[in-house]
Amino acid sequence: MTHKALKGVLLSALLLLSGSVLAADAVLKPFVLASKSSGTIAERAGQVKAALTGAGFVVVGEYAPYSGTDIIIVTSDELKKNAAASEFGGYGAVQRVSLSEVGGEVQVSYTNPVYMANVYRMSGDLANVSAALAKALGRMEEFGASGMTAKQARKYHYTIGMEYFDEPSELAEYGSHEEALKAVDLGLIGNKNGVSKVYRVDVPGKQESVFGVALKGSGDSKYMDDQFIMKEVDFRELKSAAHLPYEVLVSGNKVYALYARFRIAINFPDLSMMGKNSFMNIMKTPEAILAALEKTVKK
């Protein structure tokens, strides 16, 4: 090999190494702003769903938690394949797209697949899903936090003593996977505890299903209410409504949910501990959500 050729090989290797380092150190944020435009949510929702299905996504649910907001939940073969290859991968089997009316415009945003793949410790980084969403809906900017690297996201917890991804709440245990699924499905019918089904996605090739649930409460149960929580945490100009809905995971014969101090914090990691619009104002929320979900999925 000539000196010139060797120099070229070394330069190529250096560039590849630099690219890997940059990718590993890239700052990831929870949400992606796709677009801002005039019009109504009703008009834009139809356009968004058509764009998503045209890009190979399947709409599995839709949720309007409060006025001026609509959330579309989608899955795809690639999302389910990655979920099947990941421990508790069901949490990452969907992506959420939000439409929010703000100042006479409709903001369309979605969960950042690469960020979510890392906070859920998935086997793949969902970069292809990210590219497909960007092509279908647009990609103006990532937002929702100052951000963290993939390495930081994979071992994230809000602060000392608070839960990690691998410390979920075990809501119930049944004799079989089928019995657990039936119990959750039945529990979500009728909205008896303020918890109702938005979607269900079954992960192929493994005994795992993820349910998206709407949380409605008032009076003494207001702390588990989606609207109450979002009024406290989603106060910035760019709206993070794609945080919703919450998930319940049936894996094997057990029913789980990510504890709220983790599940809320992954989407609002920069939220202050105290003061206006802080975790202190939803201090009762984690236990309120846990109690509502347990009542819903237990016999």
Q: pLDDT tens across 274-296, in order? A: 989 889 999 999 999 999 999 99
* Interatomic CA distance for residues 69 and 230, integer angstroms: 11
Strand partners, 131: none
Angle at 22 between CA 19 and CA 28, to 5 degrees: 130
| Residue 127 main-chain phi, psi, to 5 deg | -60, -35
State residue 19's pLDDT score.
46
CB-based burial label for 60 (10 Å; 0-12, 13-18, 19+) = middle
Q: Are 126 and 79 in contact (CB under 8 A)?
A: yes
Residues written for the chain? 299
pTM: 0.90
The string of pLDDT tens digits covering residues 143-199 is 999 999 999 999 999 999 999 999 999 999 999 999 999 999 999 998 789 999 999
Exposure string of 210-242, with b = 16+ CB inside 10 Å and e = fewer, is: bbbbbbbbeeebbbbbbbbbbebbbeeebbbbb
pLDDT(18) > 80:
no
CATH superfamily, with its number, for domain 27-297: TT1751-like domain (3.30.310.70)
State residue 277's pLDDT score.
86
* Interatomic CA distance for residues 79 and 206, integer angstroms: 14
pLDDT(9) > 90:
no
State residue 22's pLDDT score.
43
Q: Are 271 and 279 in contact (CB under 8 A)?
A: yes
Q: What is the mean pLDDT of the chain?
A: 92
Q: What is the mean pLDDT of residues 84-92?
A: 97
Residue 1's pLDDT band (cuts 50, 70, 90): low
The string of pLDDT tens digits covering residues 245-258 is 999 999 999 999 99
Residue 2's pLDDT band (cuts 50, 70, 90): low
